[in-house]
Amino acid sequence: MSSDNYFVQWGFKTYRTSSLWNSSQSTNSSRQEIGSAQGTLLPSMSEQTQKTENIPSFDSELSLEALDDRPPVSPLQPVSEEEAVQIIADPALPPDSYTLRDYVDHSETLQKLVLLGVDLSKIEKHPDAANLLLRLDFEKDIKQILMFLKDLGIEDNQLGTYLTKNYAIFSEDLENLKTRVAYLQSKNFSKAHIAQMVRNAPFLLSFSVERLDNRLGFFQKELELSVKKTRDLVVRLPRLLTGSLEPVKENMKVYRLELGFKRNEIQHMITKVPKMLTANKRKLTETFDYVHNVMSIPHHLIVRFPQVFNTRLFKVKERHLFLTYLGRAQYDPVKPNYISLDKLVSVPDEIFCEEIAKASVQDFEKFLKTL
């Protein structure tokens, strides 16, 4: 190795491991070195050998300890072209997008949520949800919530559906969630009941203890129910704790003032069919009008079979008209061939035709075509 070549290599290593040189100085020194090299004759073999022997060895001058003591490479230091082409940069995130699908390849969090069964196409309809999920770290922010839900009783195959509906649970403090569960347990809700309520009302745990306590107190007071009946009511329809109270208040007025039911009759019906509290007002009034005024069924029989309010009105009409056509529309329990509202609306067509109408399904279908 010639001294000139050695100087170039040593200078390169020094340049790579020290602070930035002044660009003008490095340019001038390089020009001087090139000029002197061109103006000087190559040394003889003996001179070249002598120079080579006087050159200190790189390995002998720099020990391993010295290499360890060298300062770390600064990100501002220049790199060679060979090193530059070896740098692998992460792909850039899309600057703006209307779908989370564009971010899945860049987000480990989104990838794992998809594997859990979360439907991102539904979540992305809410811009706040997309922004929330993209900021979250799976290990730090999401994993602890998943473990909490599993301990609560949410199965693996139910997590996707639950998180699709209540993605906002990731923004909740874990201790607050545990406090709300502890409150429900203090009200004698079993672990199985709490899990059932959370599955059927995904936003339940997003409400404060004060909100849950006020709701339970409202239904117990407004409906004059016992503690146990109030608990059973919200277990069967936990949306009562999370939804608006306006439909409930409106329906209570409808039952009392428009339909003429007594308070104890309302209590009996809603404990059997809790959905009556949140049912559509128009559907309630139309069903009652047909059953009470057209079929001539009195209040006390409707109270015994409130499932009629949970049935499609056209089904009630079709079966009643067919029985009337056959002369079998008899709904008085004290008379022969009595047909209860329960059997009228709850059994499938085959059983209705065979056991109640005493006719074939084909006859029933032919009759429906005449309507």
Q: Mean pLDDT per 10-residue run, the chain (371 residues)?
A: 40 37 42 41 41 45 48 60 62 51 65 82 75 79 92 92 90 94 96 96 95 95 93 96 94 95 95 95 96 96 94 96 96 94 93 95 95 87
Q: What is the dihedral of CA 5, 6, 9, 15, to 10 degrees?
A: -120
Residue 113 lies in a domain: yes
State the burial class of residue 272 (Cβ atoms within 10 Å of its Cβ: 0-12, 13-18, 19+): middle
- Please report the pLDDT score of residue 57 as a whole number: 46
Among 132, 156, 171, residue at a domain's last position: 171
Residue 53 lies in a domain: no
Residue 265 lies in a domain: no
Residue 212 lies in a domain: no
**What's the total number of domains in the chain?**
2
- Please report the pLDDT score of residue 242 as a whole number: 94
- As separate numbers, helices (DSSP H) first and strands (DSSP E) second, the chain gives 24, 0
Residue 117 lies in a domain: yes
The residue range of the domain holding 331 is 311-370
- Please report the pLDDT score of residue 167 as a whole number: 87
The whole model's pTM is what? 0.66
Among 142, 171, 200, residue at a domain's last position: 171
> Could you tell me the sign of the dihedral formed by the alpha carbons of 103, 109, 113, 115, in that order?
positive
- Please report the pLDDT score of residue 75 as a whole number: 55
Residue 33 lies in a domain: no
Residue 251 lies in a domain: no
Q: How far is CA 171 from the centre of its chain?
A: 11
- Please report the pLDDT score of residue 256 as a whole number: 95
- Please report the pLDDT score of residue 123 as a whole number: 78
Among 119, 150, 171, residue at a domain's last position: 171
State the burial class of residue 82 (Cβ atoms within 10 Å of its Cβ: 0-12, 13-18, 19+): exposed
Residue 328 lies in a domain: yes
- Please report the pLDDT score of residue 362 as a whole number: 96
